[in-house]
Structure 1
C-alpha cells in the first residue's frame, strides 16, 4: 500500500475540511509538499473544478485549483514525488491542449506525472464553460483516444465527431512510455469500461469499499480490457463524501483514529485490491500540528502498510 499526501486547502469541502485549512497559503503548501517528500509520501493529487455555481458552494466550497497548473507547481517543488489529479474534467478542454499540458509536465518532471480523468458531474459548470453536459461521455471517449494518438504517434492524426486533426507535429512526448499513466475516476459502468480500454488505474468515488473488488473484476472481465490495471486509489475519507458532496457518516473512515485502527483499515482496503490510499487530517488547530501528524504517519503507519 502506497500513501498519498493529504494536502490541506486544495478545496474547502464541507464534509472533510477544517477551518484552519483555509488559512494555509501557497507558500505554506510548498513547504509542506517538500516536507511530505522527505517523509516518504509518494504522491499528491489535486482536485479540479473551474467554477462552482453559487447553489453548490455550501457543500462543495468555492476553492479549487486548475489541476494541471497545481500539479506542475508541486512537481517543480519536488524531486521524486508523483503528481496526479483527482480528478481532471476531461470533456471541458480541447484534447490537444490537455495532451500538451500533460506531456510538457511529464517532460519537465522527468516522468513523475499521472492523470486521473473524469467526465464531470456539475451540470451548471459545463453550462458556464459552454460544453454540452449531456454529450460529455461521448466526448470523453473520443478525447482520450485523441490524447493517446498525440502522445504515441510520430505524426498524430484523428478524425472524430468532436475533434479532428492531421499533418501535425506534436512534441514533447511523455517521458514515460508508451505515455504517462492514465487513470479514470468515477463509478458508472461506462467509466469502468473506459478504464478497461485505456487506463492503468481507477479512482472510485461513490463505490462502497465493500464493492471495490467486485468492480475491479468487472473492469478486468471486459472483452477489450487492456490488461494494464495496476493502481486503485481509495482515499481513507472517501466514504465521508456522498453524491453532490453531501457529508456522510462512516465510523470506519473518521479522522484521528488510533494507530492500529488505521493500519487495520488500510490492510483491509489492500485486501479489496486498493494499492493507494491517504489518511485524513484529524481535528487539529493549525498547520504546525499537521507537520507533527504527518511525521507520525510516516514513522508509525507507513512501515506497517508498505
Structure 2
C-alpha cells in the first residue's frame, strides 16, 4: 500500500514546488492537488460538510500546480484529486495531461470526476443533469487523442473529426485514470473507463463493501484507493487489510511550518502501521 498527500494549492499557502520537494523528502509516494476553477458567489448547492472553506476559491490552476511540482521533484508521482473534466475542453485537457506526463518523466496520476457544485458546472456551460454522460464522453475522447496519431470522436456531447495532437503521454496508453466519486452509479463509471476507483474517505464501511463489489464485477485488474483518510494507524490498517493500493491524507493549507507538522503526524501514523 502506497502513502500520499492531498493539498489545495492556494496562492497564500506553501507553493506547489516547495511543497512537492518537502513531500518527496519525507518519503511520500504521491501528491494530489484539488481543483476548482472558481466558486459561484451565489449558489443553492450545499457544501458537503458545513460552511465551505475559503481555500476552494483560492487555488492555482491545477495543471500549472502539477507542472511546478513535477519540475521540483524527481520521484514523486503528481496527480489531480480530482480534475473536474466536465468543466474542461477535452482537447485542451488531453494536451495538458500529455504535456505534464512527458515533462514529469511519466509520473502523472489523472484523477477525474464530475464534482458536486451545480452552479459551478452551469458557469462552464454544463447541464448538471447530463454531467455523468459528459464525463464519460470527454474521458473517452481524451483516450482517443492519446492513443491515435489521427484521432476522431463522435458522441452526443463531444464531436470532432480527424485531429493531430502531440505530444502523446509518456505512460502508455495513458496515465492511470482514477475515478472519483461515491454516488450510486460510480462503479459503472470505474468499470467503463477507469483504472482505479478513488473515492473520498467519508464512509469507510460503505467504501470497503463497494470495493468488494467492484472487484467481483471487474473483468480486469482495477485498483481501489482513497483520499482523505485520517492520520490514524487504525484506519490505515483497515485500508491495508481491505487491499487498498494507495491512501492519501489531506494536509491543511498554510505556510511551511503547519504543513510540515501535519505531515509529521501522518508519518507517525504510517510508522505505527509499518513498525517503522
Q: TM-score, normalised by structure 2?
A: 0.85
In structure 2, the CA distance between the partners of 1:210 and 1:296, relative to structure 1 (3 Å rule), is closer
Q: 2:24 aligns with which of 28, 37, 40?
A: 37
**Counterpart-to-counterpart distance in 2, 1:285 and 1:180:** 30
**Counterpart-to-counterpart distance in 1, 2:186 and 2:132:** 9
CA shift, 1:278, in A, is 3.4
1:287 aligned residue: 256
CA shift, 1:298, in A, is 4.1
Greater helix content:
1
Taking only aligned residues, the RMSD between alpha carbons, in angstroms, comes to 2.7
In structure 2, the CA distance between the partners of 1:175 and 1:303, relative to structure 1 (3 Å rule), is farther
1:95 aligned residue: 90
8 Å CA contact retained: 1:45, 1:84: yes
CA shift, 1:3, in A, is 1.3
1:15 aligned residue: none
CA shift, 1:60, in A, is 3.9
Gaps of 5+ in 1: 12-21, 238-254, 256-261
**Counterpart-to-counterpart distance in 2, 1:285 and 1:103:** 30
2:247 aligned residue: 277
In structure 2, the CA distance between the partners of 1:153 and 1:228, relative to structure 1 (3 Å rule), is farther
- Equivalent runs, 1:67-82 vs 2, <5 Å: 67-82=62-77
- Aligned to 1:189, what secondary structure does the other structure show? coil
8 Å CA contact retained: 1:197, 1:226: no
Gaps of 5+ in 2: none
Greater strand content:
2
In structure 2, the CA distance between the partners of 1:217 and 1:169, relative to structure 1 (3 Å rule), is same
CA shift, 1:46, in A, is 0.7
CA shift, 1:299, in A, is 6.8
2:163 aligned residue: 168
- Aligned to 2:79, what secondary structure does the other structure show? strand
- The one-character-per-residue Cα deviations of 1:205-239 (angstroms, maximum 9, x if unpaired) are 375111222212332344xx4513124124224xx
Q: 1:204 aligns with which of 199, 202, 207?
A: 199
- The one-character-per-residue Cα deviations of 1:95-141 (angstroms, maximum 9, x if unpaired) are 11111110111011110001111112111112222222221111111
Which region of structure 1 is more displaced relative to structure 2, 296-305 or 198-207? 296-305
- The one-character-per-residue Cα deviations of 1:19-59 (angstroms, maximum 9, x if unpaired) are xxx85242xx4323212212211111111111112256941
2:120 aligned residue: 125
- Aligned to 1:278, what secondary structure does the other structure show? strand
2:186 aligned residue: 191
- The one-character-per-residue Cα deviations of 1:256-290 (angstroms, maximum 9, x if unpaired) are xxxxxx223211122233222234558x9963254
2:229 aligned residue: 236
**Counterpart-to-counterpart distance in 2, 1:172 and 1:138:** 27
